[in-house]
Each structure stands twice: as C-alpha cells, then as structure tokens.
Amino acid sequence: MKLDLPSDKQVYRTPRGLQLCGDSAELLRHLPEESVDLVMTSPPFALLRQKAYGNKRQDEYVEWLGRFGEAALRVLKDSGSFVLDLGGAYKRGKPVRSLYNYRVLLDFCDRLGYELAEEFFWFNPSKLPSPIEWVNKRKIRAKDSVNTVWWFSRSAEPKADVTRVLVPYSESMKKLLKNPEKYYRPKARPSGHDIAKAFGKDNGGAIPSNLLQIPNTESNSSYLRLCKMLKRDRHPARFPSALPRFFIQFLTDPEDVVLDIFSGSNTTGQVAEELGRQWISMELSREYAALSAVRFMEGWSDDEVRATVSRLDAGEMIEIDLGLLFQAVPG
C-alpha cells in the first residue's frame, strides 16, 4: 500500500509493517479508502480510575470512540472487519454495571452503519478480582473476568474462514472418531436437530465457540525482558497475543492489511508480522510507540537494542531488518 504520511509521524518499519505515532483519527485520513482488511484494536476503556496511558470518562466515551469508528469505516474494505475489545466497568460508587460498552455497540451499528457480524466474549481466568470494594471487601459481586469483543463488519458477509481457527476435539469426540459405531448413532434429538452421520467425520478440529478462554499471564516474553533491561515502564494494558492471533487467522488472508488504531505495545503488529500479513499500527504516545519496537528485537544483543532505542528516542525513523526472526506461518 502506498501511503502519503508525514515523516515525523513514522516511528519504525519492518518488512511488513509500519508503526505510526499520532491521533489515529487524523492519521486515518492518510490511508486510501477501502484499503484495510481488518481493524483489530483495544482502546483505553471507560474505567473509573484514570490510567497512565489515558482513558475517557464514561459519560463522554461513546462520542469519543465513535470519532475513531467513523474514520476507520472509510478505510475498511467492503469485505473487511473491525474487531473491538472492550472491558466492562461499574458506575461510580455503586455496585451496578455501566452500559458504556453496549452503547458503543449500538452507536457503531445505528449511527455509523457497521453490521454486528457476531459478539465474542474473552474470558481471562487469570484476571484479578475487582472492584475491590464490591468483590473483595463486601463480597457482593463475582469477579469480572470477561471482556466484550464486538466483531463489526462493513457488509453482511465479511471475509471469514472458521476452519483456520479450529480447536482441539474434546476427549469424548476423540473417542467417537476412533470408533463411531460404538459411541454414536445418528438420530433426531429432542431439540428437533437431526444429527446425521457427517457428525462423526474428522475435520481436523472442532469449530470454536464465541467464548474465547485466553489467560493474560505474560511474564517472560522478550518484550518484558527488554523493557526491564532498558529500565523502561512496559505498557500496562497489553492483550495476550492469542487474542489478535485468533481474529487475524479467522478474518484475513496472507498479505492482507491489518490495522491497530490504539496499538500500545503493538502486540497486533507483532502477530500480523508472524502470520505474513501487512500491518499498520497507530499509537498516540511516542514513548509507547518507540518502545514497541523491541518486540522485533528478539535475539539482538543488549547493546544493539539500547543503541536502536536511543535513535528512536531522538526521533529517528528506523528500518528493522528481521532476517529469519519471523517466518510467515500459513493461515
């Protein structure tokens, strides 16, 4: 894709991607219409407690996020998708939930014109109990461990192939496939569903559900090690690589363009590079955008990393040659 972007907004390039720094609603104006296959992003949530990376109040959140959704719709292909990860929140001072993430859903569909292809739910079993007042102290609410993940699309039939994200069969299904005659007889169920012989066919895996169980337990990655070595604060709100990996494999083909408009530590860009997709990442904070380059420096010496990050800190645009670090995986 040919891009006409101000040089001061470009932070670094890899063989397949480009990290930008700036307001993504403004940067999106530089992208051609209908040029992006997938927007995969997780914006700052509408939390009560202000975070270091910046987040909007609940009463202004829908309008704020809609600005980005509108800008992204212009660049999305007719076959493209916009996947939005949003965590839930409580109302201030009350043990009742905010509806902001559902209002975002309605705004994107009713006002901006997106279709809701499907709703997903990301279950993070390792999430800490919160809010402390309602869960730990008064013990009147359960732990909030699920994010809503809205899969929006520009058309009613976006590009998708669920066979690329099959999950392992259950033990009972493995037994059935090993000896279909013993464990399974085709018949109509009380629900009215007619389960035929094809149910016993081995398709290489099971179709995943829209509940994605992915722990967010990163502790020993190259990104964390290099942040520690550099004595830099890592981005505090990183989603696990398995989340963008699922949607990139599900909704795009190799060489398609993947865009993250709130890229943070650029997990999306790293996964897209590994999977042989082109990517563009946009981050408002120059500090976080520059530091995300260390995701592409695995195997480098500490001196090489320090020298390159120093150049990024000085505002220089860097070309990162990955060599054989990432070899594109099919799917």
Residues in the chain: 331
Angstrom distance (rounded) from CA 260 to CA 289: 12
* Residue 74 C-alpha from the chain's centroid: 20
Residue type, 227: C
Angstrom distance (rounded) from CA 94 to CA 44: 22
* Residue 302 C-alpha from the chain's centroid: 29
Strands 76-86 and 146-153: antiparallel
Angstrom distance (rounded) from CA 105 to CA 135: 27
- 259 closest CA partner among 98, 137, 46, 84: 84
Report the number of secondary-structure helices (H) and strands (E) in the chain. 11, 12
Angstrom distance (rounded) from CA 288 to CA 265: 6
- Give catalytic residues, as residue numbers: 42-43, 85
Name the packing angle between helices 222-230 and 302-313 (round to 10°).
70
Backbone angles phi, psi at 129, to 5 degrees: -60, 135
Taking the C-alpha atoms of 189, 173, 159 and 145 in order, what is their torsion angle to the nearest 10 degrees?
90
Peptide bond into 131 cis (omega under 30): yes
